[in-house]
Structure 1
Amino acid sequence: MSVLYRSGAPRAAAWARFFKDNAPDIDFRTWPDAGELEEIEYLVSWAAPAAFIASLPNLKVLFSSGAGIDHIDLSAVPDHVQIVRMVEPGIINGMVEYVTLSVLALHRDFFDYVAMQPSGAWNPLEVPPASSRTVGVMGLGVLGQAVLQRLSTFGFRLSGWNRSPRNIAGVACHAGAHTLDQFLGRCDILICLLPLTDATKGILNARLFAALPRGASVINVGRGGHLDQAALLAALDSGHLSRAIVDVTDPEPLPPDHRFWTHPRVFVTPHVASMTQPDTAAPIMLANLRSHMRGDGLRDVVDRKRGY
Structure 2
Amino acid sequence: MRILFSASGTRAAPWIDGLREALPQADVLEWQPGAPAADHAVVWAPSQQLFDEQPGLRAVFNIGAGVDALMGRRIAPSTLVVRLDDAGMSVQMAEFVCHAVIRHFRELAAYEGDIAQGRWTYRKPRLRADFPVGVMGLGVLGTRVAQALQQFEFPVLGWSRSPHAVDGVRCFAGPAQFDAFLAASRVLVCLLPLTAETENILNRDTLGRLRPGAYLINVARGAHLVEADLLTLLDSGQLAGATIDVLREEPPPAGHPFWNHPRIALTPHTSARTLREESIAQIAGKIRALDRGEPVAGVVDRSRGY
Separation in 2, partners of 1:268, 1:148: 22
Is structure 2 residue 14 aligned with structure 1 residue 23? no
> Which of 167, 177, 187 does residue 179 from structure 1 map onto?
177
> Could you tell me which residue of structure 2 aligns to residue 194 of structure 1?
192
SS in structure 2 of the partner of residue 280 of structure 1 = helix
> Which of 200, 211, 232 does residue 230 from structure 2 map onto?
232
- C-alpha RMSD of the superposition: 1.7
TM-superposed deviation, 1:36: 5.9
TM-score, L = length of structure 1: 0.94
Tell me the number of residue pairs that the alignment of Structure 1 and Structure 2 aligns.
Answer: 306
> Could you tell me which residue of structure 2 aligns to residue 108 of structure 1?
106
Separation in 2, partners of 1:291, 1:236: 49
Contact 1:11 1:278 in 2 (8 A): no
TM-superposed deviation, 1:298: 2.6
Contact 1:46 1:66 in 2 (8 A): yes
Query: Cα deviation per residue 1:26-53 (whole Å; 9 max; x = unaligned)?
Result: 112235xx59623322111111111232
What letter is aligned with 1:18?
G
SS in structure 2 of the partner of residue 174 of structure 1 = strand
TM-superposed deviation, 1:11: 5.3
What letter is aligned with 1:3?
I
Contact 2:8 2:46 in 1 (8 A): no
> Could you tell me which residue of structure 2 aligns to residue 94 of structure 1?
92
Unaligned runs of 5+ in 2: none
Aligned ranges 1:2-41 → 2 under 5 Å: 2-7=2-7, 12-31=12-31, 34=32, 37-41=35-39
Contact 1:61 1:82 in 2 (8 A): yes
> Could you tell me which residue of structure 2 aligns to residue 244 of structure 1?
242
Flag the 1:13–1:126 CA change in 2: closer, same or farther, 3 A: farther
SS in structure 1 of the partner of residue 150 of structure 2 = helix
Separation in 1, partners of 2:166, 2:109: 31
SS in structure 2 of the partner of residue 3 of structure 1 = strand
TM-superposed deviation, 1:10: 5.3
Separation in 1, partners of 2:86, 2:159: 23
Separation in 1, partners of 2:200, 2:38: 37
Separation in 2, partners of 1:22, 1:222: 30
TM-superposed deviation, 1:186: 1.6
What letter is aligned with 1:233?
L
Contact 2:100 2:217 in 1 (8 A): yes
Separation in 1, partners of 2:108, 2:207: 22
Contact 1:38 1:58 in 2 (8 A): no
TM-superposed deviation, 1:15: 2.6
